[in-house]
Amino acid sequence: MPDATGDATRAAHAGLPAAEPFRPPMPGPVMSAYFHLPGDPTGAPYAYGRETNPTWTALETAVAELESPGEPAHAAVFASGMAAVAAVLFGHLRPGDTVVVPSDGYHGVHQLGDRLGEFGVTVRQVATADTEGQLAALADARLLWLETPANPGLDTCDIRALADAARERGVLVAVDNTLPTPLGQRPLELGADLSVASGTKGFSGHGDVLLGYVATRDAALLGPVRTWRSCVGAVPGPMETWLAHRGMATLPLRLERQSANALAIARRLLERGDVADVRYPGLPGDPGHAVAAAQMSAFGGVVSFTLPDRAHAERFLAALRVIGEATSFGGVRSMAERRARWTEPPAGPTPGDGAGEVSAADDPAGAHPAAQVPPGFIRLSVGIEDAADLIADVDRALDETARSAD
Ligand SMILES: Cc1ncc(COP(=O)(O)O)c(C=O)c1O
């Protein structure tokens, strides 16, 4: 896109065609499974809908511009965030390779790690805030996977320092950029090889789309990722792709509002005596703040805190009126959940009958666990509503929780 230096201009225009009289500024989704293809298919831009689609091309161009303004980059869009994560891991790892992943990051990566293990890949888990541990784990590794801030605990790590160390050792670095979005953090500018995200969350932001993407400045790194996408058919629908692209124009506004609201709620939570471990990377006193402030331009809408136990957390969630109970984040509507619900035994079972094991089928949202979080841990995804209404909702629900505990 010509002459754009600001994120908001870029978000509104990236990936759209040059203005032409009587043509739409944003062409509609191309709903086609195949394209006319006479003769030799070599070099055909569009042949079959599992390989390429013009609506993907538009969003891929936009994602590349947002993740890497001013420096050429390439992107591939996927059916979901996990489809994008899997394309990087299975596209780039081979039997005998080692991958280092965060022990406290999105659990879907651990589930994939189990599959990778079955194919002869060694998976090392290290906590996001444990820089020494990450450096040590790089020995003989092929890929370092980072997630900062990590979901759900919100610890951070220094992407540039780790990417520099990884490069010296010939290790590829991929960063899950789901929570910050490309307007909140740019891993490629910080030295990462690949930026990977679930577009389902803040990027598309309206809770109506499942999507993922991979972006890189190195076209050769995208090759195996695209090949994996075509092989397994992990492709996004044209309508989803178009919706995400359309919504991208408001990402700067949404992110700004979510970040401001999240900071206001985090501050309010700190003032209250009845919640523990308030975490938000935008809080100056947060353990992850210094690193976050150095590499993020917005801290996003996810706040976490801990109530005394499961009963308190369930009462709190039931008492909320504006904030919904759901398992996602980054959307326009605020939502919260008791994160440990994904790992705990269902109510009532006797020990030893499999209680405590959550199968993928039991967890269709793929939200899977947070085994590392205590029973009263709340992940709060702050939306774009009025801050005063959200704070009042949280205050009222916490007051009701305290009263019903008396
Ligand atoms: C950090 C992170 N990465 C990846 C994913 C997977 O995204 P999706 O649900 O779109 O497959 C999630 C989903 O919650 C996530 O939180």
Where does residue 321 rank: exposed (0-12), middle (13-18), buried (19+ CB within 10 A)? exposed
Q: What is the pLDDT of residue 343?
A: 76
Q: How many whole angstroms separate alpha carbon 111 and alpha carbon 396? A: 38
For 359-370, the pLDDT digits (tens) are: 333 343 444 444
As a whole number, the mean pLDDT across the chain is: 93
Residues with Cβ within 8 Å of 336's Cβ and at least 6 positions away in sequence, in order, are 317, 320, 323, 324, 325, 378, 379, 380, 381
User: Is residue 2 in a domain?
Assistant: no
Q: How many whole angstroms separate alpha carbon 146 and alpha carbon 105? A: 8
Q: What is the pLDDT of residue 319?
A: 98
- Clarify whether residues 117 and 190 are in a common domain: yes
Domain boundary, last residue among 226, 248, 270: 248
Q: What percent of the chain stands above pLDDT 90?
A: 90
| Section 120-143 average pLDDT | 98
| Section 85-101 average pLDDT | 98
Nearest CA among 120, 111, 118, 114 for reference residue 142: 120
Taking CA 305 as the corner, what is the angle to CA 283 and CA 319, rounded to the nearest 5 degrees? 125
Residues spanned by the domain of 322: 251-405
Flag whether pLDDT at 294 surpasses 60. Answer: yes
- Clarify whether residues 293 and 223 are in a common domain: no
Flag whether pLDDT at 205 surpasses 50. Answer: yes
CB of 334 closer than 6 A to ligand 1? no
For 172-189, the pLDDT digits (tens) are: 999 999 999 999 999 999
CA of 400 to the centre of ligand 1 (A): 32
Q: What is the pLDDT of residue 342?
A: 86
- Clarify whether residues 203 and 303 are in a common domain: no
CB of 198 closer than 6 A to ligand 1? yes
Q: What is the pLDDT of residue 5?
A: 86
- Clarify whether residues 96 and 69 are in a common domain: yes
User: Is residue 1 in a domain?
Assistant: no
Asked whether the beta carbons of 332 and 205 are under 8 A apart, the reply is yes
- Clarify whether residues 226 and 336 are in a common domain: no
| Section 47-76 average pLDDT | 98
- Clarify whether residues 237 and 381 are in a common domain: no
**Type of residue at 339:** R
Q: What percent of the chain stands above pLDDT 70?
A: 92
- Clarify whether residues 185 and 321 are in a common domain: no
User: Is residue 275 in a domain?
Assistant: yes
For 254-280, the pLDDT digits (tens) are: 999 999 999 999 999 999 989 999 999
CB of 212 closer than 6 A to ligand 1? yes
CB of 148 closer than 6 A to ligand 1? no
- Clarify whether residues 312 and 212 are in a common domain: no
Flag whether pLDDT at 357 surpasses 50. Answer: no
- Clarify whether residues 29 and 163 are in a common domain: yes
> Which residue's alpha carbon is nearest to atom 8 within ligand 1?
81
Nearest CA among 377, 406, 382, 376 for reference residue 394: 382
CA of 365 to the centre of ligand 1 (A): 9
User: Is residue 398 in a domain?
Assistant: yes
Q: What is the pLDDT of residue 364?
A: 38
Q: What is the pLDDT of residue 359?
A: 39
Q: What is the pLDDT of residue 406?
A: 67
Domain boundary, last residue among 248, 279, 312: 248
Closest atom, ligand 1, to C-alpha of 201: 10
CATH at residue 314: 3.90.1150.10
Into how many domains does the chain fold? 2
> Which residue's alpha carbon is nearest to atom 10 within ligand 1?
81
User: Is residue 270 in a domain?
Assistant: yes
Query: Of the given ranges (58-62, 228-232, 368-372), which has the lowest mean pLDDT?
Result: 368-372
CA of 326 to the centre of ligand 1 (A): 14
- Clarify whether residues 241 and 352 are in a common domain: no
- Clarify whether residues 138 and 279 are in a common domain: no
**Model confidence at 349, in pLDDT bands (50, 70, 90)?**
very low
User: Is residue 199 in a domain?
Assistant: yes
Cα torsion at 137, 139, 143, 149 (round to 10°)?
A: 30
Best mutation site among 89, 147, 151 for ligand 1 pocket (most ligand atoms within 8 Å of CB):
151
CB of 178 closer than 6 A to ligand 1? yes
| Section 40-66 average pLDDT | 97
CA of 83 to the centre of ligand 1 (A): 9
Q: What is the pLDDT of residue 369?
A: 45
CATH at residue 160: 3.40.640.10
CA of 198 to the centre of ligand 1 (A): 5
Closest atom, ligand 1, to C-alpha of 327: 14
Give the active site residues.
50, 106, 176, 201
Q: What is the pLDDT of residue 372?
A: 76
CB of 295 closer than 6 A to ligand 1? no
229: β partners: none
| Section 89-101 average pLDDT | 98
CB of 376 closer than 6 A to ligand 1? no
Domain boundary, last residue among 225, 248, 271: 248
- Name the 3-class secondary structure at 295: helix
| Section 135-141 average pLDDT | 98
- Clarify whether residues 172 and 43 are in a common domain: yes
Best mutation site among 179, 201, 381 for ligand 1 pocket (most ligand atoms within 8 Å of CB):
201
CB of 176 closer than 6 A to ligand 1? yes
Q: What is the pLDDT of residue 352?
A: 34
> Which residue's alpha carbon is nearest to atom 15 within ligand 1?
106
CA of 84 to the centre of ligand 1 (A): 9
CA of 362 to the centre of ligand 1 (A): 17
